[in-house]
Amino acid sequence: MTSAQRLRLGLLLAAVLIAALAIGAGLVRAAFYQETAAGAPPAARHPVVAAGAVGQCAGQPARAARELRGMWLTTVYNLDFPSRPGLGQAQVEAEYRRWLDVAVAQHHNAIFVHVRPSGDAFWPSDYAPWSNWLTGRFDGRSPGWDPMAFMVAEAHARGLEFHAWFNPYRGTQPAPSGTGTDAAKLAPNHPLRRHPQWRIAYPTGSKGRFYFDPGIPEARRFVEDAMLEAVRKYDVDGVHFDDFFYPYPEEGQDFPDSASFARYGAGRSKADWRRENVNTLIREMQERLRQLKPWVRFGISPFGIWRNRSSDAGGSATSGLESYSAIYADTRRWVREGWLDYIVPQLYWTIGFGKADYAKVLPWWAQTVKGTDVQLYIGMADYRVGEKGDWSDPAQLDRQMALNDRYGVQGEIHFSAAQVRDDKLGAVTRYRRAHYASPALPPRSARLTARGPAAPRLTAARGRDGRLVFDADTPDATNWALYRTTGGPATLVATGRAGAEIADPKPAANATYCLSALDRSGNESPLSPGYPAPAA
């Protein structure tokens, strides 16, 4: 096969698979390539994340891992949740609780919920119609309840951070599951119906969808307002974008934004203008978030390649699609400018993969965040487990996470919830035992480091349904962390939101417990005095 043929094949695979799935976490970017043989596994395992010393419990040192652990809960096309459109409130709530049970069982501490998949909303919004993935309708009518309020409260009750996941510029999804590029099918209150000058249809044909034009300042401001509405109304812990800004390119088609470029381009090249449009969105969201609720973290999960070294000496040792030039996402600049609290590159390739070797791309990202306050998490490709080639090895994710530990990565987000639940080939069980065997606290926000809250106090304990449940005074806490010692170092056994039940789910004999309080930014108090467990 000639190089030209290989290029055409790669582009065809990308266009077909990306359009077919049309999901919000860049699932099939690896479809641009053919899989190669696996490289050698890491030479040695390194400890999981560096633990944070928090003091002593009953004379024993107390330590807890500090790393972000989460999964993406995808709503577009009902890939994860809800299981189908048009379900009643009780069933949607029950399904969501089961997803949280999965997260807790995996010792996760955050969940990333797709609340604006395509110009719509999973909350009562003044800026967007209700999502058809929830209601089963395109008319924008209310389902009669507030899913967002429920989802945030339920996540917090289980000690999970709630990160609201938005797609900024997508306005619709392809027909027939979405409304495609048929403006007559848009909900009466859809902003792209009310403001037709903001909408762009791309690509042509059956896979087309509407986009908000990123080059129109009024459209960009409206999109920001729509997302910030959710931040104002709900106690979210984070605002999260994935890799979709300008659309991934379709062969032979350019995104048709010539009108806005002619009006706002100001003499720049179209590529530079588009990049600056995205940069402006990121910068303004950061500025406005910090004005509105400074404790809410802002993070993005971009495509895993900024630029190849062949294009830029500062790029990675890769030869794949570049987010910088293909979708106008200057991800390295976002880190260097400090516009983000965290970045989650989607490294959806195996160790040893020729065009984008996980073991080579990961160090590039670790070096990119070095010396900044931007935390590095990695987007993990749980959805690829079981594919032919290297992904048929159930240890692949485990080995990747060992590399994450080696390079100081501060957490992972797994795509997606269904694959975490299904545990194909036992891969999830394998990495959970190796890396998530006990609970962890989320990393502290480098931007908001401060003295922790006052120390709480355990006041009573009693057995209940196999758990040991505590009463406590936690006057200044947003969250709590429960530690246990049986004579050796005290370990973290449970976490939760202030007001939620404080309990050890699997009590040990002859144990002593201590409690800490945490503020919104993860700053931890001194430990409470030790509280001996009551005799059985």
pLDDT at 38 over 90: no
Domain that holds residue 242: 55-436
**What per-residue confidence (pLDDT) applies to 389?**
97
Q: Which residues pair with 211 in a beta bridge?
A: 170, 200
Where is the domain boundary, 406, 436, 466?
436
Nearest to 170 by CA among 161, 179, 162: 179
Query: Cβ of 454: how many Cβ atoms within 10 Å?
Result: 14
- What percent of the chain lies above the pLDDT cut of 70? 90
In a domain, 36, yes or no: no
Q: Please confirm whether the linkage preceding 534 is cis (ω < 30° from 0).
A: no
Spatial neighbors of 276 by CB under 8 A, at least 6 apart, are 268
> Rounded to whole angstroms, how far apart are CA atoms 128 and 202?
20
Tokens of residue 61, six digits: 């040192």
Structural domains in the chain (count): 2
Same domain, 413 and 517: no
- To which H or E segment does residue 38 belong? none
pLDDT band with cut points at 50, 70 and 90 for residue 20: very low
Model confidence at 40: pLDDT above 60: no
**pLDDT in the model for residue 451:** 81
Strand partners, 412: 69, 378
For residues 413 and 477, membership in a common domain is answered with no
pLDDT digits (tens, 9 = 90+) for 79-134: 999 999 999 999 999 999 999 999 999 999 999 999 999 999 999 999 999 999 99
Quote the CA–CA distance of 344 and 378 in Å, as a whole number.
Answer: 5
Q: Is pLDDT of 428 > 60?
A: yes
Residue 432, domain member (yes or no): yes
| Cα–Cα distance for residue pair 40/280, rounded to 1 Å | 42
Q: What are phi and psi of 358, to 5 degrees?
A: -50, -40
Q: d(Cα 506, Cα 466) in Å, to the nearest integer?
A: 7
Would the CA dihedral through 473, 442, 48, 350 be positive or negative? positive
Q: List, in sequence order, every residue forming a beta bridge with 532; answer none if it has no partner.
A: 512
pLDDT, residue 129, reads 98
pLDDT of residue 449: 74
Q: Is residue 41 part of a domain?
A: no
Taking alpha carbons only, the member of 399, 97, 447 closest to residue 238 is 447
385 & 482 share domain? no
Point out the domain boundary residue: 405, 436, 467: 436
Q: Specify whether 412 is located in the same domain as 491.
A: no
Burial group, residue 371, by CB count within 10 angstroms (0-12, 13-18, 19+): exposed
Q: What is the mean pLDDT of residues 263-271?
A: 98
Please state the separation of Cα 366 from the chain's center in Å: 18
Residue 535, pLDDT score: 83
Task: Tell me whether the omega of the peptide bond preceding residue 302 falls within 30 degrees of 0, making it cis.
Answer: no
Does 38 map to a domain? no
- 270 has a pLDDT exceeding 80: yes
**Domain contains 421:** yes
Looking at the structure, tell me whether residues 405 and 506 fall in a common domain: no
For residues 300 and 416, state if they share a domain: yes
With residues binned 3-state (H G I as helix, E B as strand, rest as coil), the percentages for the chain, rounded to 5, are 35, 20, 45
Same structural domain for residues 290 and 424? yes
219 & 289 share domain? yes
411 and 470 fall within a common domain? no
pLDDT of residue 64: 95
Residue type, 522: G
Please confirm whether the linkage preceding 310 is cis (ω < 30° from 0): no
| Mean pLDDT, the chain, integer | 91
Domain termination site, one of 401, 436, 471: 436
Q: What CATH code is carried by the domain that includes residue 357? A: 3.20.20.80
Position 51 scores a pLDDT of 42
Q: Which helix (H) or strand (E) holds 234?
A: none
**pLDDT category of residue 31 using cuts at 50, 70 and 90:** very low
- Max CA pair span of the chain: 77
List, in sequence order, the alpha helices (H) in 128-216: 132-135, 147-157, 191-194
On whether both 248 and 298 belong to a single domain, the answer is: yes
CATH number (domain holding residue 469) = 2.60.40.10
Which amino acid is present at 75? T
Q: CA-to-CA distance for 263 and 139, rounded, in angstroms? A: 33
| DSSP symbol at 26 | -
Supply the DSSP symbol for 119.
Answer: S
Question: Is 392 in a helix, a strand, or coil?
Answer: helix
Residue 18 lies in a domain: no
The letter for the amino acid at 219 is A
Characterise 47 by phi-psi region: left (phi > 0), alpha (psi -120 to 50), beta (else).
beta
Does 426 share its domain with 474?
no
- Shared domain for 256 and 356, answered yes or no, is yes
Q: Domain for residue 10, yes or no? A: no
DSSP 40: P
Tell me if residue 413 falls in helix, strand or coil.
Answer: strand
Is the pLDDT at 9 greater than 90? The verdict is no
pLDDT beyond 80 at 338: yes
Other CB atoms within a 10 A radius of the CB of residue 293 amount to 16
Confidence bin at 54 (pLDDT 50/70/90): low
Residue 25 pLDDT greater than 80, yes or no: no
Q: Is residue 3 part of a domain?
A: no
